[in-house]
Structure 1
C-alpha cells in the first residue's frame, strides 16, 4: 500500500490544511475509510415502512439499494445487477414488487433473489438462478438506523458505537419508532472533513439566530465514545418565545418532556450526524462526492406515537430551524465553503478552546469546546498512516 507523503504536526491540536484539499489524500480515504473497516449509516427503517418500499443511496461512489422485502425484513444490496453490473434502480425511493434490470430483463425479488431471466436455456451449462442473487454489504441496525460496512473485518456495530448508542436511542425517541416527514438535500462546496469538523465552540458565535431568538443552551456535556472518534452532545435548553422577532413563535416552542436534556447531537465517524434540538428529530446522511464536495441528505422524523398536532409541530420546526437554510443553521453553507477556500493556504488549522495540553488528547470536554473534535482527528491520522512529526 502506497504511503502518502504528508508532514503531520507534533502538537495534537494542529491539523495540516493539506488533508482537506489533496486529491491523493481523498483517494486513500476512499480505500481506508469509506470502503474500509467503518460502519456507515445509510437509512432509517422508517424511510421504507411498507413491504416493497426502497431507497437508493451512494456511499462514496458505491450505489446501494435498501429495500423492505415482502417478508417485512429490511435489507441492503449493492445497486447493481448480478449479471453484468448494470445499475438496477435509479429512483431515489419508491415501492416495487420486483426489481427489473432494463439491460437484459433479469428480475429480482424484494428479498434480492433472482426470480427470472430470459433465454435461460441458452446460458452456461449448469446455470442456476439461486447462484445469482443481488450482492449485499454487511449490514446491522440499531434503533432503526441501518448501517453498512464494506469489510468483513469491521467490529460488530455495538462495539464500534460504544456508550454513544444511549444518546442515539434518546435522540430517536427512546425506541427508534419513527415516521418520516421529509427531506432536504444539498451539496456543499467543501471537503467532507470540513463539514464534519463542526464544533461546539462556533454555535453561539456564528449562528446569529441564537441571539436574535434568545435561544440559549444551558449546562451540558460533550463526550467521545470508543477510539473511533464518535462525538456526543447532551445539552440543557433555556428557550425564550421570541415574540418580538417572530410572527409565529410556535416554531421555537419546546413540547418535549425533559428540558434538562432538550438538545442532543450524535456525530459518528466519518460523516453521519443526528440531532434533536427542541422537538426536531433530524438524521443527516452524508457522502463525499469528491475531494471538494460533500452531499448531505437531511431527513426529518416524527415519533410513531405522535398525534396530528405534534406531527405538524415537528414538521414546522424541521423546515424552519435546522435545515440547510434554516433560521439556526443557514450560515453553515457559507462557512463550509470559506473553510475550503482558506485551506488552500499553507500551514495547519490550530484548535484552541478546551485544549489544556497540546501534547495529549483529552477525554473530558465542556459543551462549547472545540477540542472534542481532536480524538476524531487522532483516529483519522492513525487510519491514514500519517506519522506525527517528532518534537
Structure 2
C-alpha cells in the first residue's frame, strides 16, 4: 500500500479517501488480516445469554463463533468448529443446551467447552486425551454488558483500553436502567451490495438526513413532531477509530422525554422517569442520558444508535462489494410495557430494514458502490468540518477518526490515541 489511500492534509483542511478502498479485492483481503484479525470485535450482549446453558451463534470477523453461558456462570466465546474434523457445532442461531454435539461423529462438548464424549473411544491410542480436544476458546471480555472478542493473542490492549473514549457513550446507554439493559428478542438480518465501510460512514452522517429521508421528515411533521434538524449538536473523535455524534432530540426517544406524538397517557410516566434520573444522576447527566440523541461508532464495525430507538448494528464485510448487517433493539429490562411497545414500533418504523430510513440508506450506498465503477473520479471527500473548532453533527469528524485508524492498521501501526491528530480531538472536547 505504497500509494496512499487516505490523504489527510491538515494544513489544507482536506481529507480524501481513494475509492479503491471500497472496490479492491486485495484491500478487502488485507482488511481481514490487519483489522478484523487484530481488533476487539463485538460479539453480542450478555442479555442474549441470560442463564447457564444459553448460547447464540453468529459470524464475527468472518469466523463462526459461539457465545455461551457456561454451567459455572462464566460467559465464553468459542470457535464454532468441532476439534475433531471441523464441522459446525451450532447451526441454530440461539438456544439452551447442557452440551454441544457435533452432528458429524457425535463428539460432545460441555457448555464450558470441555470434550466430554467420544464414541468408540478404543479406536484411539493411549496418547489420546480428551483434555487436548476441548473447544478453542477466544479471548473475550465485556463492558457494561457488551461482549467483545479478539482473535489476536498479541492484542496489547484490554477491552476498556481499546474502547478509549467510547466508554463514556456506552455508559450513557447502560445507565438508562437500574436493573440492566436487554436485547429485545428478534434480530433483523439483512445486507447490501456495497462495501461495509460505506454503511459505517452513513451511520454517523447526519448531513444526509433531510435530503435522503424526505418521507420520514414528512411523516414526522404530519404527527406534529420535528425531525432531527440539519444544524446543531456536535461530533467527537473518541480515539482508536471510535467516534460519536450527539444532538438534542427533535424526534423523541421513548424513554423519558414526552412529545405530542406520544399517547398523552404516557406523559406522567415519562416525566416520572425523567425526575427519577435527575435525582440519581443530577440534572446535567440525566439530560444527556434521557434527553439527547446520539450515534456511537466503535471501530471497526459496530454502531450503537441511541436516537428514535436504541439500536445495536453490527456491519460485517462479505467481500469488497457486499456486507451483512445484524440489527437488534436494546431496552431497559424494567421498561413499562406500553413504552416497550412504542420503542419496538419506533425501531421497526425507522431503523428496521423495512422502515423509513434503512431502505433509503441501503439504496444510496449501493448507488455509491455502482458510481465507483467509473474510475475517472478517484477520491471521495470527507473534509467537512475540518475548519471548525467544534465540528457539528453534519460534519465528518467521526468518519475521519474511523479512516485514520483504518489507515494506521492497514500500514501495520496500531496507532496511539494520545498523539493522533490532537487538534481535532481537542476541538471536539471543548463542547
In the superposition, the TM-score normalised over structure 2's length comes to 0.79
Q: Aligned partners of 1:10, 1:299: CA distance in 2, in Å?
A: 35
Partner of 1:127: 128
Match of 2:313 among 259, 284, 304: 284
- Structure 2 unpaired stretches of 5+: 221-225, 254-259, 275-285, 414-431
- Cα deviation for residue 370 of structure 1 reads 1.9
1:45 aligns with 2:51: no
Name the Cα RMSD after superposition.
Answer: 2.7
Q: Aligned partners of 2:93, 2:299: CA distance in 1, in Å?
A: 24
Map 1:203-214 to 2 at 5 A: 203-208=209-214, 209-213=216-220, 214=226
Whether the aligned pair in 1 keeps the contact of 2:242 and 2:297 (CA below 8 Å) is yes
Map 1:180-259 to 2 at 5 A: 180-181=183-184, 182-198=186-202, 199-208=205-214, 209-213=216-220, 214-217=226-229, 219-226=232-239, 228-239=240-251, 249-250=261-262, 255=270, 257=274
Query: Could you say if the C-alpha distance between residues 386 and 163 of structure 1 is closer, same or farther in structure 2, counting changes exceeding 3 Å?
Result: closer
Q: Aligned partners of 2:82, 2:194: CA distance in 1, in Å?
A: 33
Q: Which of the two has greater helix per residue?
A: 2
Partner of 2:370: 341
Partner of 1:108: 109
Q: Which of the two has greater strand per residue?
A: 1
1:368 aligns with 2:398: no
Partner of 2:281: none
Deviations 1:268-293 (A, max 9, x none): 11110011114x22111221111111
Q: How many residues align?
A: 371
Partner of 2:149: 148
Whether the aligned pair in 2 keeps the contact of 1:173 and 1:303 (CA below 8 Å) is no
Whether the aligned pair in 1 keeps the contact of 2:200 and 2:301 (CA below 8 Å) is yes
Map 1:68-83 to 2 at 5 A: 68-83=69-84
- Cα deviation for residue 363 of structure 1 reads 7.9
Q: Which moved further from structure 2: 166-175 or 42-51?
A: 166-175
- Structure 1 unpaired stretches of 5+: 242-247, 357-361
1:377 aligns with 2:412: no
Q: Aligned partners of 1:81, 1:74: CA distance in 2, in Å?
A: 19
Q: Aligned partners of 2:5, 2:252: CA distance in 1, in Å?
A: 48
Q: Aligned partners of 1:282, 1:267: CA distance in 2, in Å?
A: 12
Query: Could you say if the C-alpha distance between residues 235 and 348 of structure 1 is closer, same or farther in structure 2, counting changes exceeding 3 Å?
Result: same
Partner of 1:179: 182
Whether the aligned pair in 2 keeps the contact of 1:251 and 1:320 (CA below 8 Å) is no
Partner of 1:271: 301
Whether the aligned pair in 1 keeps the contact of 2:6 and 2:403 (CA below 8 Å) is no
Partner of 1:351: 382
In the superposition, the TM-score normalised over structure 1's length comes to 0.87
Q: Aligned partners of 1:146, 1:71: CA distance in 2, in Å?
A: 18
